[in-house]
Structure 1
Amino acid sequence: MRNAVRALPLLVSAALLAGAATACSSDDTSADKKTTSTPAPPKPAPALSDAQARAVITTYSKINNEANAQRDRARLDTVEDGPVYAMSVSEYTETEGLPKADRKPYKPWSYDASSAKLYIPRFTTGQDRWFAAALSSEKGKDPSRIAVFAEQPKDKRWELVSVVDLESKTLPDIALDKSGHATAVDATGNKQLAADASVLRAGVIDNFATGGTNTGTKVFKPTKASRQQIKVHDKTTRKFGKLGTTVFAGASNRFKDAYALKTRDGGALLLFAHTHTQTDAVAHSGLQINPSKEDNAWLHGTPRTSVTYTFVCSDAATVPAKAAPSQLIGYTCARTDAAGPPVGSAATDRA
């Protein structure tokens, strides 16, 4: 992922239980009866050490720069996955669609691994391992993003799978044990929280789709991030006036993994992803939508009667343990697709 992304935002934490096994024969003779002791459940261990986590962040920055310089998707795929990879590739695609004169030279950057605030949970054998980090791209500066790195056991590597631009420099108050490790909790179906990832995702989509009218303002208390999503809805749906319409809607979401860390108040920090669409359409025949240069990679400069844009977003929210609204603390979005029916080449009014 590049240093800045334009914003328009599976965890298994239950302990593995080893069942007791008892072998019995059909013979009623007590001498033939055998019992087995119940093995102790596996002891949770940190996903990795602090030093290893900082090395993961440093390696990510190095390879990310190498990939971005050449827009090398295969190279990028070794350090990114999920919505982060989808958003990064969309930036590559958008850049490649611009005239060469409009392509800005790539400027290398990196996360400051030494100042990263690490949240490393404990996991038992067989559980998916991941950790979160509050990151800054400038040495000495407060973190401005929160990210999740997940292990890919098959490839024996760690990859960035979620990153969110935070609305505030005040970080969530993550609960840490005596050794400084965080506690991972279920992000979906967790009855100990006021909302889980699916409820939060629906609330975010409603902020875009209705301005929060149905569920968004019920799920979230007002924050800078949630107000910004509502502002996107309100401003964008009015941009054409009487010449056209804009409709936001939820879309098929490939990125269902969500991550949650316990906070000191008994609630949790949740990081999740959502996908939504924005459909612009002319009000009547004789009008057309003229794509911008940034749309050229998908729309090739061809006027359209309607355009549906797809956005992939990463979101972060703090959720209380009791029944109360959650707080959206940041989100990051990128356009990943655009499509729509073209119009004829005859001159028409513009929308």
Structure 2
Amino acid sequence: MTVTLTATACSSSATIGSADDHAKAKATRTSSPTPAAVPALTKKEALAQIAHYSKINNRANADNNHTLLDTIEDGPLYAMSVADYKQDAGLPKADREKYKPWSYDLASMSVYIPRFTAGQQRWFAAVTHSGKNDKYARVLIMTEQAGAKQWEMVAAVDLDDKEQVPKIALDADGYATALDATSTKNVAAPVDVLRGAVGDNFSTGGDTTGRKVFTSSKASARQIKAHDSTVHKFGSRGTTVFSAATPEFTNSYALKTADGSALVVFAHTHTQRDAVAYSGLQIVPQKKDRAWLGTTNSPSFTYTFTCSDVATVPTAPGKATLIGYTCRRTDAHGMTDSS
């Protein structure tokens, strides 16, 4: 009897977990549709956001209004703008340049809008031109702040050569494809590698990784020149040392290009330490340093720079190309006020 009951119980258990039930469960699981990726916004809406940014930016810049600026900027761009405000406030009034209102030419602007699924941060890119015959190009990145539901500019990077702007891949409806630039599945050099190479351009002149990661370009050459020309500025009386620093802003933005590569926008932070070679010497703060350093001389000063960078990066093994970067000094201190 016990054997019969045990056998019956096993048989009953097998019936409850039958193949038909598994099939039904599988069908139920696979029947749920994958969340559709939808455009971050329309082109008309994107242009309206850029126009709104320009309008409010002019109002904020006219009075160095941090609070107003904070409603339209974020990330590295906001840090750089606030640094500009601080530097301007540290100058004698006679040396402050009169602010000139500006605006982007929306008619000639190219806007690149990716699709996103629910929960992903929405952002879009734009390329604007200015100057005679559209000589100059600038890459813009705007992101939606999830909590406030407002769009803010986080990067505005001038390129060295407008011809270096790659053709962005667009789908049948005219929308771009966002890529994860932190993964080697999408780019040959992930953003941390790019950031390290840029830091190396400044800290060693590209001797360690800079020239290995990047091809020769005007932007890379400018970073290397900043190192080469600055480290010897004091001659035998002092030293200048550049160092890569932990980035304050780690977000990156990447779009698939028509040739299968990626256009990547990211930020980096580096420092510059000026020091005298021997006791008895002091470094005198320059006029534009005084917002941070005052007028007190010091045997050493350390400056922090926040920068945004733009690179084209292949998906297959190969070198990336740095096509532009923008930096601002965002902090400085001397030996007297910091250990």
Q: What TM-score, normalized to structure 2?
A: 0.90
**Shift in Å, 1:114:** 2.2
Q: 1:109 to 1:140 in 2, by over 3 A?
A: farther
**Shift in Å, 1:179:** 1.5
Check the 8 A contact 1:115/1:139 in 2, yes or no: no
Paired position in structure 2 for 1:100 = 93
Paired position in structure 2 for 1:17 = none
Check the 8 A contact 1:289/1:306 in 2, yes or no: yes
**Shift in Å, 1:243:** 0.5
2:312 pairs with one of 313, 318, 321: 318
Paired position in structure 2 for 1:166 = 159
The whole-number CA distance in structure 1 between the counterparts of 2:274 and 2:17 is 78
Paired position in structure 1 for 2:137 = 144
Deviations 1:295-341 (A, max 9, x none): 01011011110000000000000001221111000000000011012
Secondary structure of 2:236's aligned partner: coil
Q: How does 1:268-287 map to 2 (within 5 A)?
A: 268-287=262-281
Q: How does 1:209-224 map to 2 (within 5 A)?
A: 209-224=203-218
Check the 8 A contact 2:309/2:324 in 1, yes or no: yes
Q: 1:281 to 1:26 in 2, by over 3 A?
A: farther
Greater Rg by CA: 2
**Shift in Å, 1:262:** 0.6
Paired position in structure 1 for 2:5 = none
Tell me the matched-pair count.
319
Secondary structure of 1:288's aligned partner: coil
**Shift in Å, 1:140:** 7.0
Could you say which structure has the greater relative contact order, defined with CA pairs below 8 angstroms and 6 or more residues apart?
1
Alpha-carbon RMSD: 1.9
Paired position in structure 1 for 2:74 = 81
Paired position in structure 2 for 1:124 = 117
Corresponding letter in the other structure for 1:115: S
Check the 8 A contact 1:115/1:140 in 2, yes or no: no
Q: What TM-score, normalized to structure 1?
A: 0.87
Residue 187 of structure 2 is aligned to residue 193 of structure 1: yes
Structure 1 portions without partners, runs of 5+: 1-24, 344-351
Check the 8 A contact 1:54/1:114 in 2, yes or no: no
Structure 2 portions without partners, runs of 5+: 1-11
Q: Which moved more, 1:313-322 or 1:104-113?
A: 104-113
Paired position in structure 2 for 1:154 = 147
Secondary structure of 1:207's aligned partner: helix
**Shift in Å, 1:143:** 5.2
Residue identity over aligned pairs, in percent, reads 56
Deviations 1:62-113 (A, max 9, x none): 0000110111101000100000000000000000111111111111111122
Residue 4 of structure 2 is aligned to residue 49 of structure 1: no
Residue 58 of structure 2 is aligned to residue 65 of structure 1: yes
The whole-number CA distance in structure 2 between the counterparts of 1:139 and 1:213 is 37
1:135 pairs with one of 96, 117, 128: 128
The whole-number CA distance in structure 2 between the counterparts of 1:187 and 1:194 is 9
Secondary structure of 1:248's aligned partner: strand
**Shift in Å, 1:257:** 0.2
